[in-house]
Amino acid sequence: MPKPQFPDFDEAPVDRRWMIAGFLAAAPFVPARAKSAVLQAAPPALAQKGEGLAQGVVKKVLPNGLTLIVKPVHSAPVVAVNAWVGVGSVHERDEERGITHFIEHMLFKGTEKMAVGELDRRIKAAGGYNNAHTRYESTDFIDILPADKLDVALETMADALQHSTFDAAELDRERLVVLEELSRAQDNPGFEAWNRMTHLVFKQHPYKYPIIGYKERLQAMDRKLMVGYWKRWYRPQNISVVIVGDVDPATALKKAAKAFGAWPAGPDKPAKLPAEPEQKALRSDEASGDIQTTLALIGIPTISELHDDTPALDMGLAILGQGLSSRLNQSVREKQKLAHSVAAGQFNGAYPGLAYLWAELEPEQVKPALAAIWAEVERMKAEPVSEAELERQRVRLEHDEAADRMSMEGMAGKLGYYQTMGGDHRLADQATARMRAVTAADRPAEAPLAPHPDERATVRSSRERAVTTRARGRAGARETETTRARSRRRSD
In a domain, 463, yes or no: yes
Confidence of residue 457 (pLDDT cuts 50, 70, 90): very low
**Cβ atoms 302, 29 nearer than 8 A:** yes
Does residue 265 lie in a domain region?
A: no
User: What is residue 309's predicted lDDT score, i.e. its pLDDT?
Assistant: 87
**pLDDT at residue number 43:** 34
What was the pLDDT predicted at 491? 32
* 314-348 pLDDT tens trace: 999 999 999 999 999 999 999 999 999 999 999 99
238 shares a domain with 91: yes
222 and 347 share one domain: no
Q: How confident is the model at residue 83 (pLDDT cuts 50, 70, 90)?
A: very high
CA distances from 186 to 135, 182, 195, 215, 352 (A): 18, 6, 10, 11, 26
135 and 215 part of one domain: yes
Percent of the residues in the chain that have a pLDDT greater than 90, as a whole number: 58
Q: Which of 228, 260, 292 is the last residue of a domain?
A: 260
Give the pLDDT confidence score for residue 204 in this predicted structure: 94
- Examine the pLDDT at 42 and tell me if it is beyond 80: no
Report which residue type is found at 326.
S
Tell me whether residue 242 is in a domain: yes
Per-residue pLDDT reduced to its tens digit, 350-409? 999 999 999 999 988 988 998 999 899 888 878 888 899 999 998 888 888 888 888 999
Q: Which residues contact 334 (CB under 8 A, 6 or more apart)?
A: none
- Domain CATH number, residue 376: 3.30.830.10
Predicted pLDDT at 436: 87
Same domain membership, residue 238 and residue 105:
yes
* pLDDT, position 468: 26
Task: List the single range of 102-106, 210-214, 420-424, 444-448 with lowest mean pLDDT.
Answer: 444-448
How far apart CA 228 and CA 265 sit, in angstroms, is 16
Q: What is the DSSP string of 371-392?
A: HHHHHHHHHHHHSPPPHHHHHH
Residue 43 belongs to a domain: no
pLDDT tens-digit profile of 160-183? Answer: 999 999 999 999 999 999 999 999
Give yes or no for residue 6 having a pLDDT over 90.
no
Q: Do 174 and 246 lie in a common domain?
A: yes
CB neighbour class for 176 (10 Å; exposed up to 12, middle 13-18, buried from 19): exposed
Beta strand pairing call for 470-472 and 294-301: unpaired
351 shares a domain with 234? no
Q: Are residues 344 and 419 in the same domain?
A: yes
pLDDT digits (tens, 9 = 90+) for 465-485: 222 222 222 222 222 232 222
Pair 13, 147 in one domain: no
CA distance 275 to 352: 9
Choosing from 260, 289, 324, the residue where a domain stops is: 260
Q: Are residues 83 and 151 in the same domain?
A: yes
Pair 293, 209 in one domain: no
Mean pLDDT across the stretch 78-98? 97
Of the residues 260, 288, 312, the one at which a domain ends: 260
Query: What count of other Cβ atoms lies within 10 Å of the Cβ of residue 201?
Result: 28
pLDDT of residue 409: 96
pLDDT of 41 above 60: no
Mean pLDDT, rounded, of the chain: 81
Q: Which domain holds residue 452?
A: 9-38+278-480
Q: pLDDT (tens digit, 9 = 90+) per residue, 234-269?
A: 999 999 999 999 999 999 999 999 999 999 998 877
**Cα–Cα nearest to 459, from 288, 226, 306:** 288
What gap in Å lies between CA 302 and CA 449, rounded to an integer? 11
Secondary structure of 317-356 in the HEC alphabet? HHHHHCCCCCHHHHHHHHHCCCCCEEEEEEECCCCCCEEE
| pLDDT in the model for residue 290 | 73
Q: Has residue 4 been placed in a domain?
A: no
pLDDT tens-place string over residues 268-315: 777 789 988 887 777 777 777 777 778 888 888 888 999 988 888 899
The predicted pLDDT at position 268 comes to 75
Q: Which amino acid is at 237?
A: Q
The verdict on residue 322 lying in a domain is yes
Q: What does the alpha-carbon distance between residue 339 and residue 10 come to, in Å, rounded to a whole number?
A: 17
d(CA 240, CA 85): 7
Q: Which of 489, 486, 457 is nearest to 200 (CA)?
A: 457
Same domain? For 18 and 69 the reply is: no
Same domain, 214 and 333: no
Q: Residue 134 falls within a domain, yes or no?
A: yes
Domain count, the chain: 2
Whole-number pLDDT of residue 29: 39
pLDDT at 382: 80
Model pLDDT, residue 37: 36
